[in-house]
Structures are given as C-alpha cells and as structure tokens.
C-alpha cells in the first residue's frame, strides 16, 4: 500500500506545486524570483500578415524590436523561465510595467486580466492529462497583448496546446491570417479552454470505473481513489473558475485593443468555459455521491459479515449446549431421575434427531430471511 501512497502524493505534489511560489513577506513589488531548476527561456517569433510569414527562433530579446515596429502581427512565444537577465531585457523591449513582469514570471498567479492602457495582461492556466492518465499537469500561460503584437510566456517548453493554432497560421488555414493580434490571442485562449476537455473526459472515465468498483468490489483502495479524485477536481475547479471571469471581463470591458468582431468569437470561448465549469461541478457532485455509496457499501459488507457470524453461532451454540447436557456426569445409578436417557435404548439416535431438528429449523429461518446465500458465497 505504501507504494500507492507514494504515487498518489507524487501526483498531488505535481498538481498542487503552485503553493511553493511566494515571496517572503515585505519583498518589494515587481521583484522577480527565478527558479534555478527551470529551463532556460527559448524565444520563438512568428510574424505574419495575409501575405508574408516569418517563423524563427530568437536568441536576444532585442531582436524582436524590428518586428514589433512593423504593422504585421508579431507573436513572440517564450518557453521556460530560467534566466533573469533575458526576462528583464524582454520586459524592456515590450515596455512592461514591473508588476506585469512579476506576474508573468511568478508561476503561482491566479488567472486574471488587467488593462494597462496600451497593453492587456491575461494570465491563464493550461491543463494536460499526465502520461499515465492518472491526473493532470497545470501550467501557467501569460499573454501580453498589444496593438499588433502578442507576447506569450509558458513555464515549460515540453508541451503546449498551441500547436493547432501555429499550424493554422503557417498553413494559412481559416481566417487567422486576415485578422489582428487580438484574434490570435482569442485563438490561443480558445485552445487553452478546449484543452480542458480531454482532461474532463479522463475524469468522466475514471468516475465510471469508480462507479463499477464501488458497487461491485469496494476496498479501502477505492476510498483512496475517490478521495484523490475529489482532490484533483477541487484543483481543476480552482483552475477553470477564474478563467471564466477573465474571458467575461475581456468581452465586457471596453479596451480598444480587442475589436468588436473578436468579442463575438470570445462569447463562443466563454460558452466553452461555462461548459467546462458545468462538467467539473457535475463530476464533483457525482464524486461526493460516490463517497456516500462507498460508506453504504462498507456498512452492507459489515451486515454480511455479521450475518455469517450470527448464522454459525445461532446454529451451533444451541447444539453444543444439548451435547453439553448429555456430557454431564450425573450418576444414573443413584436415582431413576438422573439422566435415564443415557441408558435408554434409543437415547443417542433420538438425541441426534433432536439436534438435527433444531439445526433444520434454524436453517429454515435463516433461509427464509435470505441470509444463507451470502454465508456460503465464495466471493466477498
């Protein structure tokens, strides 16, 4: 069992790793803290308009500058946070407010959107199922949206859900090449929200498995699984709820950076976020229902155990008493009242018959109560 716990706590740590990131109280705002273990930042630039497309990796943040000055849409995607110098130079290139830079680098932020006049900061969280399909990873993605550029910052380069959007830009599929940076930001946000669905499907399957398990064969391990499920759903809920508000405020607030046409698309994205919340809440309700069922199932099992004990004890204890009677040593020679049965011709057979009668009656009673089937079934 120890192994299970270990695995469990590993997954939990992964999903709850967020709590490690905080400044010591009293630190100046805008202070950047670099986690030395995290990967060095890699910077990718995609600069496009309806006709041209540039797609390349960039070494120095300053190399982005020329692209930002043109009218074409520039998407600068930073993956990895392990170098303070590069991040600060990036902040200078994009003229980021110190609080923006802190939020982007600090990987423990809550999803939010903030309006800095000519820039819009959006913090979102992206989830992906783990390889073993036994939980999910949650990673922060920050968007800094300007008039004709978009800066995105991710913690880990290994995985993101932006591949589909990148392909649509490169292949010129759909209308994305005809639209501005705001449409790009919407497309990426939409991909982030849509990334919740595979995770939800995994939980849907896990709940169905747990339902079968809890009804057919509940063990203490089942309990662990239900608890773990609830814990992860609490986490998932914490990731998606604030994103709904983020998207809603993007739709409602009158920032000029987002055009009215894109707002219509954002409504669609908003609907999807509500759908995700809906399903998370449904799963939470189902999982708390599972806990109730588990508790009842354990009580039922106790009933079965007690029935076996009661059946066995109730049959054999009276019989043993009868046998005990005739094991007494009263001396038949001293008195005709002292256990004359012992010397009677049919004493023993009658005694056995009497015992059989008792046992039979009790068995009949228990059979009528339906207890016998359980006592002799080999499956628990």
Contact set for its own copies, span 106-145 (CB under 8 A): 108-110, 112, 114
Tokens of 313: 């004890």
Nearer Cβ to its own copies (70/128): 128
Cβ at position 166, least distance to its own copies in Å: 8
Q: At what angle do helices 260-325 and 220-252 cross, to 10 degrees?
A: 160
Among 7, 39, 70, 224, binds its own copies (CB under 8 A): 224
- CB 92, min distance to its own copies, A: 17
Q: What is the per-residue binding string for its own copies in 278-297, x denoting contact by CB under 8 A?
A: xx--x--xx--x-xxxxxxx
- Minimum gap (Å) between residue 374 Cβ and its own copies: 10
Residue 58 · residue 44 · CB < 8 Å: yes
CB of 139 to its own copies, least distance (A): 13
Residue from 54, 99, 356, 357 binding its own copies (CB under 8 A): 99
Size of interface with its own copies, in residues (CB under 8 A): 138
Span 346-375, contacts to its own copies by CB under 8 A: 346-349, 351-352, 365, 368-371
The answer to whether the beta carbons of residues 175 and 143 sit under 8 Å apart is no
Residues 53, 58, 251, 319: which binds its own copies (CB under 8 A)?
319
Q: Look at strands 73-79 and 42-48 and give their pairing.
A: antiparallel
> Do residues 103 and 123 touch, judged by C-beta distance below 8 A?
yes
In the numeric block, which tokens belong to residue 40?
């060095």
What's 64's DSSP letter?
G
- Is 152 in contact with 81 (CB distance < 8 Å)? no
| Residue 265 per-residue DSSP state | H
Q: How far is the CB of 144 from its own copies (least distance, A)?
A: 16
Helices and strands (DSSP H and E) totals, the chain: 11, 7
Q: Strand 112-116 to strand 119-129: parallel, antiparallel, or no bridges (unpaired)? A: antiparallel
Residues 23 to 52: which contact its own copies by CB under 8 A? 23-30
Site string for its own copies, 140-179 (x = CB under 8 A): ---------------------xxxxx-xx----xxxx---
Closest distance to its own copies from the beta carbon of 54 (Å): 21
How many CB atoms are located within 10 Å of the residue 26 CB?
A: 5
């Amino acid at each position: 069992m120890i192994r299970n716990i270990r695995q469990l706590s590993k997954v939990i740590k992964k999903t709850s790793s967020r709590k490690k990131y905080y400044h010591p109280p009293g630190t100046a705002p805008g202070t950047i803290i670099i986690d030395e273990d995290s990967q060095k930042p890699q910077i990718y630039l995609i600069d496009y308009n309806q006709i041209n497309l540039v797609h390349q990796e960039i070494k120095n943040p300053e190399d982005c500058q020329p692209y930002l000055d043109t009218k074409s849409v520039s998407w600068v995607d930073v993956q990895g946070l392990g170098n303070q110098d590069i991040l600060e130079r990036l902040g200078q290139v994009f003229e980021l407010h110190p609080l923006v830079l802190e939020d982007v680098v600090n990987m423990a932020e809550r999803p939010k959107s903030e309006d800095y006049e000519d820039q819009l900061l959006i913090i979102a969280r992206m989830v992906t199922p783990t390889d073993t399909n036994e939980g999910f990873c949650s990673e922060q993605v920050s968007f800094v949206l300007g008039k004709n550029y978009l800066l995105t910052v991710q913690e880990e380069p290994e995985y993101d859900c932006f591949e589909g959007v990148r392909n649509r830009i490169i292949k010129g599929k759909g209308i994305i090449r005809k639209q501005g940076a705001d449409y790009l930001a919407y497309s990426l946000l939409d991909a982030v929200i849509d990334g919740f669905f595979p995770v939800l499907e995994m939980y849907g399957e896990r709940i169905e498995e747990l339902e079968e398990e809890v009804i057919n064969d509940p063990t203490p391990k089942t309990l662990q699984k239900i608890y773990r499920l609830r814990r992860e759903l609490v986490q998932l809920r914490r990731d998606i709820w604030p994103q709904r508000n983020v998207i809603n405020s993007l739709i409602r607030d009158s920032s000029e950076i987002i055009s009215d046409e894109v707002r219509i698309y954002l409504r669609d994205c908003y609907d999807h976020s509500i759908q995700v919340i809906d399903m998370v809440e449904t799963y939470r309700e189902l999982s708390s229902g599972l806990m109730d069922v588990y508790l009842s199932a354990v009580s039922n099992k106790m009933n079965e155990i007690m029935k076996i004990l009661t059946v066995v004890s109730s049959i054999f204890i009276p019989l043993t008493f009868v046998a005990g009677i005739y094991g007494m040593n009263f001396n038949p020679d001293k008195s005709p009242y002292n256990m004359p049965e012992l010397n009677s011709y049919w004493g023993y057979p009658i005694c056995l018959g009497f015992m059989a009668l008792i046992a039979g009656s009790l068995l009949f009673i228990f059979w009528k109560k339906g207890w016998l089937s359980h006592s002799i079934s080999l499956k628990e």
